[in-house]
Structure 1
Amino acid sequence: MKKIAILPLRKDSKGIIGKNKKKMVGRPLFSWVLSEAIFSELDQVYVFTDDIEIVTFIEKEYTWSTKVIPLLRSKENATDTASTESAMIEFADKVGYNFDVICLLQATSPYTTAKDINAVLESIEGGEDSALTVVKTHRFVWNANGEAQNYNVFNRPRRQDFEGLLIENGAVYATTKESFMTSQCRISGSIGIVKMAEESLIEIDSNSDWGVVESLLIERQKKQKQQQKIEYLVLDVDGVFTDGCVTYGKEGELSKKFDMRDGMGLEILRQNGIDVVVITSENSELVKQRMNKLQIKNAYYGVKDKFSFLNYFVKEQNTSFGALAYVGDDVNDLASMCSVSWSFAPANATDIIKLHSDFVLSKSSGGGAIREVCELIMKYNKRYE
C-alpha cells in the first residue's frame, strides 16, 4: 500500500505575512509537520507550493531524506478563494494518482506528530475509507439564537460527567484513492476518528496566536526531556566556537577567532568516549579547516533546519535525545536545545536562548565556553560510572 502526503503551502498569507516560512521556535513553521511526516510511516511527502523560495529551501535542506519532494502548485489553486480540495485534485493529477492512500497535512498545525499521522493511516489500514484528527473539548456550545447546543441549561453537568464534543482540528486527513476519486473530497465513506491533544485546536491566525502556540511547543519539547549519560556533545560554530564575529575582505571571509582551550576540552571528551558533533548553518572553508584540525568527523555544514537533521542523526546513530548535550547561541538552535538532555548557552548568547537553556555558562563564546561545557559534562557523567 503506497501512502503519500500532500503539504499544501501558499506563498501569500493575509493574517500573518509569510506565515509558512516564519520561524516558530527557530524553525520555519512548515518544517514542524514536515519533519514529523518524514519520520512517520508515509512513503513520500510532497510539499505542494507556489513559493520558489520554499522549493529551493527543501531541495537544499532535506537531501538526507528521500521522502521529501517539492512540487510546484498553480497560481489558480494558490489564491485566497481556492479550496484545499482543488489543490488536492491538481496534485493528484500531477502525480498520476500514483498512490493508494493520500494524506493531507497542514503547516498551521505544528503540534502534529509522527504518531498522530501513523494513527490516521492505521485507521484506513483497519478498513476505513478515510480518517481525520479531532480534539475532544468540554466547552459548552451555543448558537446565535441563544440556544445551548450540547447541554441542558437546567441540568448543567460537571466536567467529569460531561461527554463533550469532538471537533476537527484541521491537522491530518487521509483517504483512499478510490474514495477520493469518487468524492473529490478529503474525507468520505466510512470515516475513522483519531484524537489529538486539546492544545492542537488553537489556530494560528494572528500574532497573539503565534506567541501562544510557540510557548506551548517549547513546553512540550521540554517535558519530553530525558536525562542519561551524555554520549554526544552537539555544537554550533558561530557564537559558540567563535565570538560570532568574522573579518571580511574583497576576497570574502578572511578570518574567525577560535579558543585553543576549547580544542583541548574536546580532545579530553573524546578520550572519555563522548563523540563531538558540529552542526552549523554556515558553509565556511575556514570552519571546515578548523574542524579537520580538531579531528571532528561528525561535522555538518549548511544545515538550516537543525532540529530535523538532529532527529535524523539520532536515528542513524541508534541513540536518543537523552544522550545528547547541546551548545547554541541563537534562535535556530532553540528547538534542539529544548529537546536534548542538557542544553548550554554561552554567557553572551541571545536572551531567548539563555531564557530556555538548562545552564547559562560563565564563559563567553570564543572565550572558553566550550571548555567549560566539557568540564561540566565530565562531572555529570561520573554519576553513571
Structure 2
Amino acid sequence: MQKKTIGFIPLRKNSKGIPGKNKKKLLGRPLFSWVLSEAIFSNLDEVYVFTDDEEIIAYIDKNYGWTHKVKPLLRSAENASDTASTESAMLEFSELINHDYDVFCLLQATSPLTQRTDINKGLELVLNGNYDSALSVVRTHRFIWSEDGKSLNYDYTNRPRRQDFDGLLMENGAVYTSGKKELLESGNRLSGKIGLVEMSEDTLVEIDSETDWQVIEQLLISSFKTKKTPQRISHLILDVDGVFTDGRVTYGNTGELSKTFDMRDGMGLEILRQHNVNVMVMTSEDSETVAQRMKKLQIEDVFLGVKDKYSFLENILQERQLTAQEIAYIGDDVNDMANMLRVGWSFCPSNATKPIKYQADVVLNNASANGAIREACEFIMNYNLRFNDL
C-alpha cells in the first residue's frame, strides 16, 4: 500500500523582524508562495498551509484551484504566538486532520531557495525505511571557533586548503521529514535514525531580517539567470495591462468601459503563429474587455485572474511537457518578474517599470499599445532562424 506524504507550511500573521513577512513580495510573489510552488510540484501528495492569517487562506482558496494538492487550514491564536514552538503547531495540525498521513514534511517559508528535488530527497530517505526522519543541511567550509578561543572543526596549526577541507554540515532550517509514528511519539520534528539531505551552500541564508531579504533576492535572480540557455522559442506568453494596452483603463459607473489596444500588435501575433510559435495570454485581471479582444485575435490560451503567475507557468510547463527555455514572456510590472527570470527570453515595453527594465533580457524600443508586441514578435522570428537547420 502506498504511503501518504504531506507537506506542512506553518505561517504566522505577525512577524517581529519583518512586518507582514510571509505576504511581502519577493520578486513580485508573496514570500510563502516560493516554497509552496516547489511543494506542489514535488512528490508530496498534499500540501497544507497552516496559518492564522485569513488573508493568506483567502488568497490560496482563490488562486490555487488548478491543483488538488493545496489545502489552507486555520491555525489557533495560541499556536501562532511569539512563544509557541513549531512543534506545537505541528502537533495541533496533526490532530486537526486526524493524523491522516504516513510521512510528514515540514517546510519553512523563510527558505525560498528550497527546490522540489530537496523535498523529494527527504521523502525518499524516510519512505525507503532506512531513516526515521531527515533534515536538510548545507556544507560550509568556514572555520568554527568557540568563545574561549578553541578551534572546533580544524587544526589551526595546520590550516587546510579549501579543496582539501571537507567542511562542516550545518542545519539550514529548510526541510524536515518524519514518519508519523516517530513524530507523534517524540513530539519533535526529528527523532530516531536521522538522515541528511545536503542542499547548496546558498540555502544557508534564512530570511530573518531586511538584509537577509536582499541577499535572498539577489541569489534568486542569479540562480534564474545562470540557467538560461539558447533554445528555439516555441511559445510566447504575454501580460495584458501595460503590454497589450498602455496601462490605462476607462471606468464608468457600471465599471470598466474600455482599454486601448494596438492593431499592429495583433497582426504581429498572427504572423508569429504562422511561424509555429504558440501565443498565450496570462493576466491577473479578470476583464471581459480582455476576453473579447483575445477572442477577436483568435488566441485560444487565455488565462484571466491569475495572481500567482509563476506557479501557473510551472503547471503549464508540466502539463504540456515544455521547458522554460523555449518560452518567451512579455511583462511590464513586478508581478511578471519571476516569470521573466524563469523563461528563456524576457521582453518589456519601453515604458515598463524600472525594476522590470533592470531584469528583462530585452527592453523594447516601443511602448506598450504602441508597437512593443509587434517588435518582440519580429525579434522572436529572427531569433528562431538560427535553429532552422538544427
Q: What range is the shorter-chain TM-score in? A: over 0.9
| Structure 2 partner of 1:383 | 386
The alpha-carbon deviation at position 164 of structure 1 amounts to: 1.4
In 2, Cα distance between equivalents of 1:95 and 1:9: 17
Q: 4+ runs of 1 displaced by more than 2 Å?
A: none
Query: Percent identical across equivalent pairs?
Result: 61
The alpha-carbon deviation at position 155 of structure 1 amounts to: 2.0
Q: 1:109 aligns with which of 108, 111, 117?
A: 111
In 2, Cα distance between equivalents of 1:214 and 1:182: 39
Question: 2:169 aligns to what SS in structure 1?
Answer: strand
Question: 1:237 aligns to what SS in structure 2?
Answer: coil
Question: 1:338 aligns to what SS in structure 2?
Answer: helix
Q: 1:90 aligns with which of 92, 98, 101?
A: 92
The alpha-carbon deviation at position 317 of structure 1 amounts to: 1.1
Is 2:273 aligned against 1:270? yes
Is 2:247 aligned against 1:210? no
CA contact (8 A) 1:226 1:321 kept: no
How many residues are matched?
Answer: 385
Deviates more, 1:66-75 or 1:142-151: 142-151
The alpha-carbon deviation at position 226 of structure 1 amounts to: 2.7
CA contact (8 A) 1:344 1:358 kept: yes
CA contact (8 A) 2:103 2:127 kept: no
In 1, Cα distance between equivalents of 2:149 and 2:232: 59
Report Cα offsets for 1:21-56 as digits up to 9, x if no partner: 111111111111100000000000000000000000
Deviates more, 1:262-271 or 1:80-89: 262-271
Question: 1:308 aligns to what SS in structure 2?
Answer: helix
Q: 1:47 aligns with which of 49, 54, 60?
A: 49
Report Cα offsets for 1:166-223 as digits up to 9, x if no partner: 1000000000011111101101000000100111011212112111110110110111
Is 2:335 aligned against 1:332? yes
CA contact (8 A) 2:110 2:208 kept: no
In 1, Cα distance between equivalents of 2:137 and 2:240: 42
Question: 1:154 aligns to what SS in structure 2?
Answer: helix
In 1, Cα distance between equivalents of 2:284 and 2:126: 39
Q: 1:28 aligns with which of 3, 27, 30?
A: 30
| Structure 1 partner of 2:314 | 311
The alpha-carbon deviation at position 324 of structure 1 amounts to: 0.5
Which amino acid counterpart does residue 195 of structure 2 have in structure 1?
A: G
In 1, Cα distance between equivalents of 2:362 and 2:137: 38
Alignment of 1:172-211 (within 5 A): 172-211=175-214
Which amino acid counterpart does residue 72 of structure 2 have in structure 1?
A: P
| Structure 1 partner of 2:80 | 78
Q: 2:256 aligns with which of 249, 253, 258?
A: 253
In 2, Cα distance between equivalents of 1:56 and 1:242: 29
Is 2:139 aligned against 1:139? no
In 2, Cα distance between equivalents of 1:247 and 1:336: 28
Alignment of 1:216-295 (within 5 A): 216-295=219-298
Which amino acid counterpart does residue 251 of structure 1 have in structure 2?
A: T
Question: 2:183 aligns to what SS in structure 1?
Answer: helix
The alpha-carbon deviation at position 227 of structure 1 amounts to: 2.2
Could you tell me which runs of 5 or more consecutive residues in structure 1 were left unpaired when the two chains were aligned.
none
In 2, Cα distance between equivalents of 1:238 and 1:219: 28
Question: 2:139 aligns to what SS in structure 1?
Answer: strand
In 2, Cα distance between equivalents of 1:123 and 1:205: 29
CA contact (8 A) 1:226 1:340 kept: no
In 1, Cα distance between equivalents of 2:161 and 2:386: 48
Report Cα offsets for 1:333-356 as digits up to 9, x if no partner: 111111111110100011111111
CA RMSD across the alignment: 0.9
Which amino acid counterpart does residue 368 of structure 2 have in structure 1?
A: S
In 2, Cα distance between equivalents of 1:325 and 1:282: 21
In 2, Cα distance between equivalents of 1:244 and 1:345: 13
| Structure 1 partner of 2:14 | 12
In 1, Cα distance between equivalents of 2:33 and 2:229: 23
